[in-house]
Chains A and B, each alone.
Chain A
Amino acid sequence: MINTFSTLIWLELRKFGVFGLGLLLGVAAWFLLARQIFAWTGSNLESAIAVVSTTAFFAMCVNTVLLVGLAQDFWREYRAGRWSLLLGSPQPAWLHLAAKAVFGGAVLSLFNGAVWLIMTFWLAQVGMGLPLGLGASLWLYALGGLALVVPALFLGLWVTAYTPGKATLIALVMGVVGMGQVLEWSVRLFGDLFYKLLPPWRLPAPTFEQNPAVRGLWESFPGLPTEGFVLSLALMVPLFWAASRLWQEVEA
C-alpha cells in the first residue's frame, strides 16, 4: 500500500524515462547545433530572432505531441489492463491519475525549462535579460496545479469510455468542445471578480540594456489575475473526480 504510488511512478519512469531523456538530449543538441549554424558572438539580432522563433515553434509542436502521446498511452495501457495485474490488487483510480499527472507534469516542466534556458541564452546575446522568476512564474500559472495535464488525461479516458459504442470521434469532439465551454462559462460567471479579490500575480520585468521605456511599460502592467489560477485549481477538482469515477466504472 505504501509502495503503490512510487511503483506507479517507477512504471511511468520505465515507460517515458528514455523518451524524456532523449527529449532533453535533443534540446541540448539543438543548443550546440544552433551555435554552430548561427553567429552568436556580438549582438546579432537576426540570428537571435531566428533561433528563438524556431525554438518556440518546435517547443509548441513537441508539447502538443507529448500531451497527445500521454493521452494515447493512457488509452493503450488502460485497454491492455496491465496495471491491476502488476500491482496485485485493483488500485483506486485517482492514484493512477495522480501518478500520471505528476510524471507528465515533471517531463513537461523539464522540457520547457530547457527550452526557456536556450531562449534566455540567445536573448542575452542581444542585451535582453529574462529573469528565471518570470519563466517560473508563467509556468506555474500555466500549469495551474497540473490543470493542463489533467484535462488531457481526461480526454484520453473519455475516448476509452466510448470505444465500445464506436462513438469515439463524437466523444472526442464533445470532449474538446465541452472543455472549451467549461472554461468559457467559468470566465463568464467569475470574470467580474478577476483582479478584485486577490492581489494580482506580478511578473518580474525582463531587462533591456538600451530601452528603459519598455521596462516602464512592463511595470505599469498589474500582472495576471490570481483568481484565474485559483479558478483553474478549483476546476481541476471536479475534473479529477469525474475522470476518477469514469476510470473505475469503465474498468469494472
Chain B
Amino acid sequence: MPNAHFGTFERVVFGLVFAWLAYAGYRLWTGTFSPTARWVGVGFVALAALGLTQDLFDLNRRSVDAGVVSATTEVVRGVVEVSGGGVCIGCERSLEGGKYRLHGRWVAGQYTLRPQGTQPYALGYQGGEANLEDTPLKPGCTRGFISEETRLEFDGASGVVLEVGPGASCTN
C-alpha cells in the first residue's frame, strides 16, 4: 500500500459509504425477480466499491497519469520536483539521466517546478501560448536557470518540450 491514508475521517466516511453500498446491493438483489436487473445492480455496486477502494488506497495515480489527463508529482532527487498537470495529448515523461523531461504534442495545464539549488532548464514549443510566471514566452526554445519555485502554464501549446536538470536542451 504505497500511499494509504487511514485517518478517522476516512474510516467514518468510507465506512458509511461502504455500508450504504452493501445495503443498496441487498435491496437491489431482493427488490426484483429479473436476473439481469439483479446482476446489473450487483455489478454497478461492485464497480462503485472498486472505484472507492482505489481512491482509498491511492492506487489510481499511475493509470490517471498514463492517460490524456495527468495530475502528478514527479521527483528527480537532488534536481527538481515537478507537480501539477492538465490535459496532455501525446505525452511522454521521463526522469532518466538525472533530469526531468516532458514531451507533448499539445498541452493545456499548469506545472510547478521546485528546483533544488540552481538548475538549468530548456522550454520549447511551436504554437499556442506558454507563460512562465505570468510572462508570455515566445514560440521556439527558451533556455535559462531557475533557483526558486516557478509556475509554468501552457494554454494549448503544441510541440512542447520541457527539460529541467543538467544538460537540459530542447532537442531530444
Residues in chain A near residue B105, CB distance under 8 A: 195, 222
Which of B41, B63, B106 has a CB less than 8 Å from the CB of A171? B41
B31–A188 touching, CB < 8 Å: no
CA distance A235 to B60 in the complex (A): 22
**Chain-A contact segment, one of B64-72, B95-103, B111-119:** B64-72
Residues in chain B near residue A182, CB distance under 8 A: 47
Q: Taking the complex as formed, is B109 at the interface, i.e. its CB lies under 8 A from any CB of chain A?
A: no
A173–B24 touching, CB < 8 Å: yes
Residues in chain B near residue A35, CB distance under 8 A: none
Q: Taking the complex as formed, is B166 at the interface, i.e. its CB lies under 8 A from any CB of chain A?
A: no
Q: Taking the complex as formed, is B120 at the interface, i.e. its CB lies under 8 A from any CB of chain A?
A: no
B34–A194 touching, CB < 8 Å: no
Q: Taking the complex as formed, is A145 at the interface, i.e. its CB lies under 8 A from any CB of chain B?
A: no
The listed residue with most A CB atoms (<10 A of its CB), out of B35, B41, B64, B69, is B41
CA distance A216 to B106 in the complex (A): 13
Residues in chain B near residue A209, CB distance under 8 A: none
What is the total number of residues of chain A having a CB less than 8 Å from a CB of chain B? Answer: 37
Chain B residue at minimal CB-CB distance from A171: B28
CA distance A194 to B88 in the complex (A): 11
Q: Taking the complex as formed, is A199 at the interface, i.e. its CB lies under 8 A from any CB of chain B?
A: no
Q: Taking the complex as formed, is B158 at the interface, i.e. its CB lies under 8 A from any CB of chain A?
A: yes
The listed residue with most A CB atoms (<10 A of its CB), out of B34, B48, B126, is B34
Chain A residue at minimal CB-CB distance from B43: A178
**Chain B, interface size: which category?**
35 or more
Mask: chain A, 178-197; 1 = CB below 8 Å from B; 0 = not: 10011011011101101100
CA distance A185 to B47 in the complex (A): 8
Which of A161, A164, A166, A219 has a CB less than 8 Å from the CB of B127? A219
Residues in chain B near residue A177, CB distance under 8 A: 44, 48
Chain B residue at minimal CB-CB distance from A188: B63
Which of B43, B69, B128, B129 has a CB less than 8 Å from the CB of A191? B69
Q: A191-B66, A195-B90, A217-B129 are in contact. Are A246 and B156 (CB under 8 A)?
A: no
A220–B32 touching, CB < 8 Å: no
Q: Taking the complex as formed, is A175 at the interface, i.e. its CB lies under 8 A from any CB of chain B?
A: yes
Q: Separation in Å of the A170 CB from the closest CB of chain B?
A: 5
Residues in chain B near residue A181, CB distance under 8 A: 44, 47-48, 50-51
Q: Taking the complex as formed, is B16 at the interface, i.e. its CB lies under 8 A from any CB of chain A?
A: no
CA distance A194 to B90 in the complex (A): 9
Q: Taking the complex as formed, is B12 at the interface, i.e. its CB lies under 8 A from any CB of chain A?
A: no
Q: A181-B51, A220-B158 are in contact. Are A171 and B67 (CB under 8 A)?
A: no
A-B contact pairs, 8 of them (CB 8 A): A162-B28, A166-B31, A177-B44, A178-B40, A191-B64, A191-B66, A221-B158, A250-B32
Residue positions of A touching B, CB distance < 8 A: 158, 161-162, 164-167, 170-171, 173-175, 177-178, 181-182, 184-185, 187-189, 191-192, 194-195, 216-217, 219-222, 225, 242, 245-246, 249-250
Q: A170-B24, A246-B34, A249-B37 are in contact. List 13 more A-B contacts (CB 8 A).
A: A158-B37, A161-B32, A167-B27, A174-B24, A181-B47, A181-B50, A191-B68, A195-B105, A220-B158, A221-B158, A245-B36, A249-B36, A250-B37
